[in-house]
Amino acid sequence: IAAFYGRELRTVIKTVTSMIEPIMIVLMGVLVGFIAMSIILPIFKMSSVVS
């Protein structure tokens, strides 16, 4: 019984991990995009004010 539940637990952990990885990649991409836009947008606004 312990071996069965050990295999079952490993299967569930592998499934959950494979589902979480793409979600984390997307969230990290959104975070990096937000940081990049928060740096770039003020520069563009400043250049439009100057000209």
3-50 residue pLDDT tens: 999 999 999 999 999 999 999 999 999 999 999 999 999 998 998 888
Q: What is the C-alpha separation between 11 and 5, in angstroms, rounded?
A: 10
pLDDT at position 50 is: 83
Q: What is the C-alpha separation between 30 and 36, in angstroms, rounded?
A: 10
pLDDT at position 8 is: 96
Find tokens 């997307």 and name the residue.
26
* Domain spans, the chain: 24-51
Q: How many CA atoms lie within 13 A of 4 on its CB side?
A: 1
Instruction: Report pTM.
Output: 0.66
pLDDT at position 36 is: 97
pLDDT at position 49 is: 85
CB atoms within 10 A of CB 31: 10
Does residue 51 carry a pLDDT above 90? no
